[in-house]
Structure 1
């Protein structure tokens, strides 16, 4: 079950049902199931980037990873549950996996240091999960064919059940979209900053900010130069989208 918001199918089934869908895909192993995160900034960027737009529209699960998505849905009268942050999806899946049979994770993205910290913490937090591989890709805006082949081979040779990709949006979603058909893995999750949050190299906002819908604010105050476009430029544009859509609803057009 999903809502249609600005041309995107965004899941409103709740975290537990989404996680159950992932495990069904892992057990079936018939195709590669793909999860991405939707927030106001990603939808604004996607409106100017056709490949990114397509990658979000083709996601099997597009989670509402942004308070702005929930606010938009409520204003437009769409049924919605609540925000599901990428880190909550990652931890939820890991807790569920840790209670079952052995499952294999592969982490693609970030630095060797972050990947090593993730491996150590996974071993401590979720002993039933095996990190069967990690790969820190070269830091460049575009990967070469050789880069892509090296990543694909590393993943396929490791034979993971789950591939977590953390390269930041839209790079990670576009990479998955272009290479998904070559990957022999039942589930892929694009989770960006979750790598840093879980490794402890960046701190997630406290529960206070999360609960009042302002999780973004402490991050913005810490990294204003990096996040100004996301928070100060994309947010007004997204609000404009909501107003325009609401006017269309009221006028019946």
Structure 2
């Protein structure tokens, strides 16, 4: 899909880091935007950026293009906010949002606006648990789903797309993790009958408590990464120890470059 054809008209301030954009908005504004976009007769892509996403954008040109050509990109990482602050942007914690904290409010907003939702994420059983929880808080919500453990090409992928198209969701939540979920959207969006494409990673795993996020005080303080690292050190040490260090180095490198350019001018 040519993402340059999508509609980017909205009121949110753009912030750029490493030449990659995200928008300055709150969770209430995000939910309102999703619901409004779901009513339009066009396809809308909403991205989310965190340290891992910024590192991918630095290393992969197609990934940077995904963010820069998406209709809306919200921040899901305190590290990104800190990097943006270092570069002179006026942002604070209200401009960072993580899906498990607002997914029930999103479900309620979808229910009250008659917006349907399809969940495509998680191991077998996780989506069913999430649907059961969401229908308790939004009993009239039109919702369906399928787990994310399927071949992302070939007949199995086509069968999943057919299932989505039969449901015709207004909002399609995709949770395969970065960068697979974004790549899958780009490869399949033209074949999918949905309005809003919303990649949200492991949100359902956290929401259903299949994966431990850590205590609330740590997530509120931007230390969710540390809790996850302590819980799964063998799997996540590269992502957080090396990835976070790389991000900090790149932020500092760009900061120095900007200072040098300003002084030379």
| C-alpha deviation, 1:181, in angstroms | 2.0
From 26, 29, 52, the equivalent of 1:17 is: 29
Does the CA contact (< 8 Å) of 2:124 and 2:149 recur in 1? no
Q: CA–CA distance in 2 between the matches of 1:199 and 1:212? A: 21
2:235 paired with 1:222 = no
For 1:108-131, what per-residue CA distance to the aligned partner results, in whole angstroms no more than 9, with x for missing partners?
122221121112111112213121
For residues 239 and 138 of structure 1, what CA distance do their matches in structure 2 show?
33
Equivalent position of 2:198 in the other structure: 189
Deviation at 1:72, TM superposition (A): 0.3
Q: 1:248 to 1:41 in 2, by over 3 A?
A: same
Shift of 1:171: 0.6
Q: 1:84 maps to what in 2?
A: 97
What is the aligned partner in structure 1 of residue 185 from structure 2?
176
Structure 1 residue matching 2:38: 3-state secondary structure: helix
Query: Any idea what the Cα deviations from partners look like across 1:52-98, whole Å, max 9, x if unmatched?
Result: 33323322221111111010011110122431113235333223224
* Superposition TM-score, scaled by structure 1 size: 0.90
2:157 to 148, 155, 160: 148
Structure 1 unaligned spans of 5+: none
Name the SS for the 2:108 alignment partner: helix
The residue aligned with 2:120 is: 108
Contact 1:172–1:190, Cα closer than 8 Å, also in 2: yes
Q: What corresponds to 2:140 in structure 1?
A: 128
Q: Is the 8 A contact 2:126 2:208 kept in 1?
A: yes
Counterpart mapping for 1:159-170 below 5 A: 159-170=168-179
Q: Aligned residues, how many?
A: 248
The answer to whether the Cα contact below 8 Å between 2:116 and 2:170 also exists between their aligned partners in 1 is: yes
Q: Distance in 2 between matches of 1:4 and 1:208?
A: 29
